[in-house]
Chain A
Amino acid sequence: MTSAAAAGTVELRGVAKSFDGQPILRPLDLTVAAGEFLALLGGSGCGKTTLLRIIAGLEVPDAGGVRIGGRDVTSAPPYERPVNMMFQSYAVFPHLDVAANIGYGLRAAGLKPAERLALVEWALALVRLEGLARRRPEQLSGGQRQRVALARCLVKKPAVLLLDEPMAALDRNLREEMQRELVRIQRDVGTTFILVTHDQDEAMSMADRVAVMEAGRIVQCGPPREVYERPANRFVARFVGRVNFLEGVVRESTSAGCRVACGPFEVRVAGAGAPSAGSACTLAIRPERVAVAAPPGAFLNELEGVLAATAYFGDFVRAEFRLADGSRFEATLAAGAPAAGGPSLAPGESVRLGFDADAVVVLGP
């Protein structure tokens, strides 16, 4: 099955695209392995949808090349690519019923009715739409239309499936259900999935790898845990989850870590690869790594903060503090235990905030 597996590789080399002189994609490289689930994560206008449309063949790049399964498809029209796309609007054919929608691509490929029927039934079962074959699109809910759009792609057994913000139009409960469904289906069929999303939770929970995009570039690409725990720069750190930044100057740097002076505080950072002494840097600390009202000496790093506000989210509480220099600092607490040191915290109270050396990431410039 090596050849079939390799059919799902996608390689982009130096792909660039402008619209009306406005660069949408700066020359970028991306390789997606066969059977991988990759999420393209970024805000609106970052170029993620354009990138997806270039892979689908709906846009032609100004420069660079696209290879799918080792074959150069840079100038191949969409109907000659082993790729199918699920559109954000689903783009279900309004004049065809569910079965005809799902069978459309098979019919275009010239399959006989009997062959089509078996495949359409397989696809209906895969997306759990059995019994709705004769329904028309206007009789379907948003979630059902989405399943039709998905089945219509999967029935073609594409080497690569592209998904453009597939959950954007669904309500929250349905969205989480469909996210699980998509992961299940991806495991079942083993197709390469490339998902475009602006929702970091979606990208993190579903994908094997997340490519974070900003202004037409891929700024970081790696497994969700790596992107979250070792963000490459401020943008990634802030886009993927919440984060506290501390600006400082490196005092001392060793192979085991470094000490950074951040105003009145000194922060110890664990891990190799720290910048040399004297250089300015930004430190990132995730709020859930911060202990509130920590006993003295329990953590290597300690800050004094004044509680400014709390926000209750049900399963956790987000507390916002002001540091001595006026900057904001966030901490997340489990809702059951408001603070380790006391039963409750009132705004205006001064609290000790503690975090370990390995909770700190030194960001590049």
Chain B
Amino acid sequence: MIGPRPGRGTRLALWLPLGWLVATIAVPTGLVLLLAFRRLADRIPPVEPLWSQAAGHGRLNLSLESIVAVATDPLYAAAFGHALANALATTLLCVLIGYPLAYAIALAPARRRPFYLLLAVVPFWTSFLMRTYAWMGLLRDSGPVNSLLLALHLADRPVHLLYSPAGVLIVMVYSYLPFFLLPMYAVLERLPREVLEAAADLGARPFYAFRTVTLPLSLRGLLAGAVLVFIPAMGEYIIPDLVGNTQTILIGGVLWNEFFQNRDWPTAAAIALLTTLTIALPFAAGALLRRRLRAA
């Protein structure tokens, strides 16, 4: 043990966040896990009790029914595939738009940077639903976006953006951009200026210097921001529901329907479990692989 033994205050400071994590993550995840292995029942809550007495002896009511149903029904697989494609496209666009934006803010004079960051974040002081409704107005066939396209002769008749996958993507990118921008900015802003100057001094033209120095040194921020966008985008259900059409029935929306409309808690829990595992396993495998490679 290095340093003095932690006092009561230190121990409290360590246990409090741990307790918070257990209460807000471990317990709900455990409940979802338990629900996924139960059967639907016509009662409140709408699942069979975990333990029941029948014919004189106790019985543990666990089943793989919901898991198997979700895993084998092509409807869920399609919704998952749509959600994955949508989340990947959102992440990619957030990276392509957010990286140059974050870089431009990081290169701006130090006095003006907080203002630019504020501009990027200020829309988020308005409710998420309000902003989504505002976008529905913007994307309408007779809305400002289409008026602009027509005025610039980029289109000869209105482009159907509202209630289309393209519309969903536009609103998703808009909504999730700050989640990428902020960590990306934090990393780019801290890049040592002298290291970039050294690259130029050693004969690297701007693009070569970017490819060989700036990008590798900011990759950590890029990955962090991409994960922060990808994870919530994967579960998004409000934007596809409001702006999308039947082609944009995503796994988040399906889950919401099963839980609130159909009151099928086991199926909803099974969807949540399988979705989480499908996303988390590759991440975990990647992390493990990286640790192996570093150790080697």
Contacts and interface: CB of A to CB of B under 8 A. Distances in A.
Given A78-B197, A87-B194, A87-B198, A95 B217 contact: yes
Nearest to A81: B201
Nearest to B205: A79
Contact of B192 (A56, A89, A156): A89
A109 interface: yes
Contacts of B204: 79, 104-105, 108
Interface in B210-228: 212-213, 216-217
A77 B217 contact: no
Nearest to A104: B202
A105 B195 contact: no
Interface in B170-200: 192, 194-195, 197-200
A58 B197 contact: yes
A109 B197 contact: no
Given A79-B205, A104-B212, A108-B208, A91 B194 contact: yes
B5 to A, nearest CB: 31
Contacts of A107: 212
B109 to A, nearest CB: 10
A156 B197 contact: no
Interface string A86-98: 0111011111000
B203 interface: yes
Contacts of A92: 195
A85 interface: yes
In the A-B complex, the 6 residue pairs with the smallest Cβ-Cβ separation, listed nearest first, are A105-B202, A91-B198, A91-B194, A108-B204, A78-B200, A108-B203
A200 interface: no
Contacts of A105: 202-204
Nearest to B219: A95
A84 B213 contact: no
Contacts of A79: 200-205
Given A89-B194, A93-B195, A95-B216, A58 B202 contact: no
A156 B216 CA distance: 23
B202 A156 contact: yes
Given A57-B200, A79-B205, A105-B204, 15 more contacts: A77-B200, A78-B200, A79-B200, A85-B197, A87-B197, A91-B192, A93-B198, A93-B213, A95-B213, A95-B217, A104-B199, A107-B212, A108-B199, A108-B209, A109-B203
Contacts of A109: 203
A152 interface: yes
Contacts of B194: 87-89, 91
Given A91-B194, A91-B195, A93-B195, A56 B216 contact: no
Interface residues of B, number: 18
Nearest to B213: A93
Interface residues of A, number: 25
Contacts of A95: 213, 216-217
Contacts of B192: 89, 91
11 contacts: A56-B201, A57-B201, A79-B202, A79-B203, A79-B204, A85-B197, A89-B194, A94-B195, A104-B204, A105-B202, A105-B204
A295 B203 CA distance: 65
Contacts of B199: 93, 104, 108
Contacts of A108: 199, 202-205, 208-209, 212
Contacts of A85: 197-198, 201
B203 A91 contact: no
A147 to B, nearest CB: 15
Contacts of B195: 91-94
Contacts of A94: 195, 217
B198 to A, nearest CB: 4
Contacts of A77: 200
Nearest to A53: B197
Given A87-B194, A108-B208, A58 B213 contact: no
A56 B200 CA distance: 10
Nearest to B194: A91
A177 to B, nearest CB: 24
A64 to B, nearest CB: 21
B62 to A, nearest CB: 50
B217 to A, nearest CB: 6
B46 to A, nearest CB: 54
B212 to A, nearest CB: 7
Contacts of B208: 108
A79 B201 CA distance: 5
B275 to A, nearest CB: 35
A58 B205 CA distance: 13
